[in-house]
């Protein structure tokens, strides 16, 4: 899976969609709800089978980070599965929004 | 990452939300993207390297910007205020290009090889009218240049600043929350398209999910009327605009209850104007933003809390932060450096240097960024103990009198504190004795300024070398449309005037 910046993916198990903001330093697998994500244009509908340990959900507009690899992903659509990289749960990146300036 | 992605994910997430124009009957995000893909597909067929635009603000502007990004043709907005000869020089430098031009401006363009002209009316009839067209699938282009902006050119020919997709998307994604705007939010855009703020406004609004309403060109009356009628919640203005907006509000009694946030930048905001704005718009959060074309817009900002804290404080150090541009963005590294490259102490003036992904620091055929990524802004400034940045203006504007560097800004701030001085500029003009001497140009409210007592006050507060040696009186000072004082114009006039003495 080529997790290059700007690439779009969706969950194989729920409605979540994501965009890669920063690529991982080493290749690996982005997962949602415990299953590998699929390219955004994949035609298969989500299976609905979400592993309980990866069921905290993806929120729209939130950024998710895998600290070890540097992989950063934006939640572009919400879903019930949660994100992981090579089986390690990704964390929400806490960032205070800035005021609009233009 | 390319800029069209910003629109693409927003259109997927909130297809029905109004993106452009009036809250009733405006263009929704789905239609916005579909129209941009149609334009992109047409641009690709034309086979030109660039896509240029000469015209007033309007909904075709954001559609063209995204379409250019999809088609892989850098977007080149041109300045319609230039003289015809200068404008045509830029058109030539943009060729080969598709040039979309306002009907009223088309006669100004001389036929140029490689330029395909299309009238705005024709473009609008083809691409902007009627129901939502089909979305065309366009593979991401290889070209990583998103926008070329001609800078005003302090010396010689204007330079074409290069903004890459990576610079712009990095700026947007690090400063804006994806779909962070509520459905009721709307931004009023009145800066022209050839200004960096006009470009960044389009990108941040699309990614944030905020509706954009355009003013074709700025008048304070239209601004206030549109803001009220369209339920505008956010806007960006330059200092000269704000003063006039407040005048109109005072006259009409309009209070703009829906307005939430007003950002300003692009020139020094006189303190009395911002004080008046805070008093007249107590429900509005004010933001002062500082940035350059070469940095993809904002790199430092003074937020609403900082404004309130500064005005409420008795501590002069905190109080004066109202005149600062706040603190650098978390994603920007900023240093003040001396001429020899070493870092300045807090309070010490030097040149502002910045580094970050949004910093392009690049012109066509000329990279202006150091190998380690640092960009010298050519702006003079200093940081206070709390890390607040004060910008003193262009380094070129610093007056060198007998080896001493004197910033016009400090003297101008003091001059503005006199009730009789409505506006002012301090400049250095050549002089045999000191190399340069300090002169002041003032606009007096009474018409009879007491320059002797003003001189005495400056001497007491600053020092004698900073006291203007010569005073000039004007009805008004020359500004460009984005609120920048035209110092070079003024200086040239003064040099001529003093030579004749």
Taking one residue from A and the other from B, the number of pairs with CB-CB distance under 8 angstroms is 78
* Residue A97 falls inside a structural domain: no
B470-473/B435-444 β-pairing: parallel
Hey, of B6, B140, B174, B175, which one would you mutate to test binding to chain A, going by the most A CBs within 10 A of its CB? B175
The domain of A86 spans: 8-92
Q: Which residues of A touch B176 (CB under 8 A)?
A: 97-98, 100
- Single out the residue in B377, B394, B411 at which a domain terminates: B394
Are residues B495 and B405 both part of a single domain? yes
Query: Which among B210, B303, B330 has the least Cβ separation from residue A99?
Result: B303
Indicate the length of chain B as a whole number.
501
* Residue B195 falls inside a structural domain: no
Whether A52 has its CB under 8 Å from any CB of chain B: the answer is: no
- CA–CA gap between residue A2 and residue B14 (Å, rounded): 27
The domain of B347 spans: 328-394
* Residue A99 falls inside a structural domain: no
Are residues B455 and B489 both part of a single domain? yes
Are the C-beta atoms of A86 and B205 separated by less than 8 Å? no
* Min Cα separation A61/chain B (Å): 5
Within 13 Å of residue B331, how many CA atoms lie on the same side as its CB?
21
- CA–CA gap between residue B364 and residue B178 (Å, rounded): 31
* Residue B373 falls inside a structural domain: yes
* Residue B459 falls inside a structural domain: yes
- CA–CA gap between residue A67 and residue A72 (Å, rounded): 9
Whether A5 has its CB under 8 Å from any CB of chain B: the answer is: yes
Q: What is the DSSP string of B70-123?
A: HHT--EEE--TTS-HHHHHHHHHHH-SEEEEE-GGGGGGSPP-TTEEEEEHHHH
Are the C-beta atoms of B207 and B174 separated by less than 8 Å? no
SS3 B311: helix
Q: Which residues of A touch B298 (CB under 8 A)?
A: 101-102
* Residue A100 falls inside a structural domain: no
Q: Which residues of A touch B5 (CB under 8 A)?
A: 6, 8, 19
Q: Which residues of B touch A74 (CB under 8 A)?
A: 9, 173, 178
Query: Which among B180, B289, B303 has the least Cβ separation from residue A102?
Result: B289
Written as six digits, the tokens of B84 are 């015809």
* Residue A14 falls inside a structural domain: yes
- Single out the residue in B347, B378, B394 at which a domain terminates: B394
The CATH number of whichever domain residue B363 belongs to comes to 2.30.38.10
| Among A29, A20, A32, A42, residue whose Cα is nearest residue A1 | A29
Q: DSSP label at B124?
A: I
Alpha carbon separation from B390 to A52, B175, B228, B352, B400 (Å, rounded) = 53, 21, 34, 10, 20
Are the C-beta atoms of B87 and B80 separated by less than 8 Å? yes
Q: How many CB atoms lie within 10 A of CB B312?
A: 9
Q: Inter-chain contact B208–A21, Cβ cutoff 8 Å? A: no
Q: What is the DSSP string of B162-220?
A: EEEHHHHHHHHHHHS-TT-S-TT-EEEE-S-TTSHHHHHHHHHHHHHT-EEEE-SS--H
* Min Cα separation A102/chain B (Å): 5
Within 13 Å of residue B73, how many CA atoms lie on the same side as its CB?
28
* Residue B47 falls inside a structural domain: no
Q: What is the DSSP string of chain A?
A: ----TT-EEE-SSSS-EEEEEE--SS---EEETTEE-EETT--SPP-----GGG-S-B-TT-EEE-TTT--EEEEEE-BSS-EEETTEEPEE---PPPPP--
Whether B302 has its CB under 8 Å from any CB of chain A: the answer is: no
Nearest CA in chain A to B212: A102
- CA–CA gap between residue B5 and residue B34 (Å, rounded): 13
Are residues B385 and B405 both part of a single domain? no
Q: Is B96 left (phi over 0), alpha (psi -120 to 50) or beta?
A: beta
Whether B187 has its CB under 8 Å from any CB of chain A: the answer is: yes
Are residues B370 and B413 both part of a single domain? no
| Among B264, B296, B299, B292, residue whose Cα is nearest residue B278 | B264
Alpha carbon separation from B356 to A41, B346, B369 (Å, rounded) = 33, 22, 11
| Among B304, B319, B313, B292, residue whose Cα is nearest residue B259 | B304
Q: What is the DSSP string of B443-493?
A: EESSS---HHHHHHHHHHHS-GGGS-SEEEE-S---B-TTS-B-HHHHHHH
Are residues B388 and B438 both part of a single domain? no
Q: Which residues of B touch A65 (CB under 8 A)?
A: none
Q: Inter-chain contact B236–A60, Cβ cutoff 8 Å? A: no
Are the C-beta atoms of B281 and B262 separated by less than 8 Å? yes
Whether B4 has its CB under 8 Å from any CB of chain A: the answer is: no
Hey, of B135, B144, B174, B176, which one would you mutate to test binding to chain A, going by the most A CBs within 10 A of its CB? B176
Nearest CA in chain A to B290: A101
Give per-residue pLDDT as tens, A25-77: 999 999 999 999 999 999 999 999 999 999 999 999 999 999 999 999 999 99
- CA–CA gap between residue B29 and residue B4 (Å, rounded): 12
Whether B303 has its CB under 8 Å from any CB of chain A: the answer is: yes
Average pLDDT by stretches of 10, chain B with 501 residues: 97 97 94 98 98 97 98 97 92 97 97 97 96 94 96 71 97 94 96 93 98 94 97 92 94 97 86 90 96 96 94 93 95 95 95 97 91 94 96 84 82 90 92 88 93 92 88 90 80 83 60
B 373-432: CB under 8 A from A: none
Q: Which residues of B touch A19 (CB under 8 A)?
A: 5, 9
- pLDDT score recorded for residue B332: 97
Q: Which residues of A touch B303 (CB under 8 A)?
A: 98-99
Are residues B408 and B361 both part of a single domain? no
Whether A8 has its CB under 8 Å from any CB of chain B: the answer is: yes
Q: Which residues of A touch B236 (CB under 8 A)?
A: 100-102
Are the C-beta atoms of B285 and B260 separated by less than 8 Å? yes
Overall domain count for chain A: 1
- Which residues contact residue B306 at a Cβ distance below 8 angstroms, ignoring those fewer than 6 apart? B321, B326, B388
B 5-24: CB under 8 A from A: 5, 8-9, 12-13
Q: Which residues of B touch A70 (CB under 8 A)?
A: none
Q: Inter-chain contact A97–B13, Cβ cutoff 8 Å? A: no
B421-431/B435-444 β-pairing: antiparallel
Are residues B425 and B446 both part of a single domain? yes
Phi–psi pair at B25, nearest 5 degrees: 85, 5
- CA–CA gap between residue A96 and residue B489 (Å, rounded): 43
The CATH number of whichever domain residue B492 belongs to comes to 3.30.300.30
Query: Which among B13, B263, B303 has the least Cβ separation from residue A102?
Result: B263
Written as six digits, the tokens of B368 are 């202006």
Overall domain count for chain B: 2
Within 13 Å of residue B148, how many CA atoms lie on the same side as its CB?
26
Are residues B411 and B380 both part of a single domain? no
Nearest CA in chain B to A7: B1
B27-28/B234-237 β-pairing: unpaired
Give per-residue pLDDT as tens, A37-51: 999 999 999 999 999
Write down the ipTM of this complex. Answer: 0.93
Are residues B409 and B424 both part of a single domain? yes
* Residue B475 falls inside a structural domain: yes
Q: Inter-chain contact B200–A102, Cβ cutoff 8 Å? A: yes
β-sheet bridge partners, residue A72: A22, A65
Are residues B431 and B338 both part of a single domain? no
Are the C-beta atoms of B26 and B35 separated by less than 8 Å? no
Are residues B389 and B415 both part of a single domain? no
* Residue A73 falls inside a structural domain: yes
- pLDDT score recorded for residue B32: 98
């Amino acid at each position: 899976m080529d997790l290059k910046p700007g690439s779009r993916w969706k969950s194989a198990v729920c409605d979540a969609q994501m965009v890669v903001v920063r690529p991982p330093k080493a290749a690996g697998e982005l997962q949602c709800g415990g299953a590998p994500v699929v390219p955004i244009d994949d035609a298969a509908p989500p299976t609905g089978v979400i592993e309980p340990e990866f069921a905290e959900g993806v929120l729209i507009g939130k950024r998710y980070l895998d600290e070890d690899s540097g992989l950063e992903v934006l939640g572009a659509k919400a879903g019930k599965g949660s994100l992981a990289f090579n089986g390690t749960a990704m964390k929400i990146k806490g960032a205070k929004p800035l005021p609009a300036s233009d | 990452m390319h800029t069209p992605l910003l629109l693409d994910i927003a259109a997927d997430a909130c297809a029905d939300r109004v993106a452009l124009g009036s809250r009733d009957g405006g263009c929704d995000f789905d239609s916005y993207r579909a129209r941009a893909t149609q334009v992109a597909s047409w641009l690709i067929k034309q086979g030109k390297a660039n896509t240029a635009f000469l015209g007033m603000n309007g909904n075709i502007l954001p559609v063209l910007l995204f379409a250019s990004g999809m088609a892989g043709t850098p977007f080149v907005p041109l300045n319609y205020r230039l003289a015809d000869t200068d404008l045509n020089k830029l058109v030539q430098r943009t060729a080969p290009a598709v040039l979309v031009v306002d009907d009223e401006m088309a006669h100004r363009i001389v036929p140029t090889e490689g330029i395909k002209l299309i009238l705005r009316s024709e473009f609008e009839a083809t691409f902007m009218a009627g129901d939502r067209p089909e979305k065309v699938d366009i593979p991401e282009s290889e070209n990583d240049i998103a926008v070329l902006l001609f800078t005003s050119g302090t010396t010689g020919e204007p330079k074409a600043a290069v903004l890459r997709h990576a610079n712009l998307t990095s700026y947007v994604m690090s400063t804006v929350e994806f779909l962070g705007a509520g459905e009721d939010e709307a931004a009023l855009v009145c800066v022209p398209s050839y200004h960096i703020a006009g470009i960044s406004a389009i990108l941040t609004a699309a990614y944030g999910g905020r509706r954009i309403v355009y003013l074709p060109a700025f008048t304070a009356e239209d601004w206030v009327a549109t803001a009220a009628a369209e339920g505008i919640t956010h806007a960006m203005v330059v200092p000269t605009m704000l003063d006039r907006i407040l005048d109109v509000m005072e006259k009409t009694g309009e209070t703009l209850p829906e307005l939430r946030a007003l950002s300003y930048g692009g020139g020094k905001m006189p303190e009395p104007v911002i004080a008046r704005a805070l008093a007249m718009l107590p429900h509005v959060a004010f933001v002062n933003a500082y940035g350059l074309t070469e940095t993809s817009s904002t790199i430092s900002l003074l937020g609403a809390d900082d404004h309130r804290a500064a005005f409420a404080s008795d501590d002069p150090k905190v109080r004066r932060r109202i005149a600062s541009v706040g603190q650098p963005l978390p994603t920007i590294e900023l240093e003040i450096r001396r001429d020899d490259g070493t870092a300045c102490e807090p309070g010490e003036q030097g040149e502002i240097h910045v580094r970050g992904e949004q910093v392009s620091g690049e012109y066509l055929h000329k990279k202006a960024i150091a190998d380690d990524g640092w960009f010298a802004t050519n702006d003079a400034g200093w940081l206070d103990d709390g890390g607040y940045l004060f910008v003193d203006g262009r380094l070129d504007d610093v007056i060198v009198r007998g080896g001493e560097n004197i910033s016009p800004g400090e003297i101008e701030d003091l001059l503005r504190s006199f009730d009789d001085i409505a506006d002012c500029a301090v400049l250095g003009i050549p002089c045999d004795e000191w190399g340069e001497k300090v002169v002041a140009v003032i606009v007096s409210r009474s018409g009879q300024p007491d320059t002797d007592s003003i001189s005495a006050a400056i001497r007491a507060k600053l020092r004698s070398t900073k006291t203007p040696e010569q005073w000039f009186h004007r009805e008004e000072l020359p500004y460009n449309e984005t609120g920048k004082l035209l110092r070079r114009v003024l200086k040239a006039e003064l040099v001529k005037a003093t030579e004749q003495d």
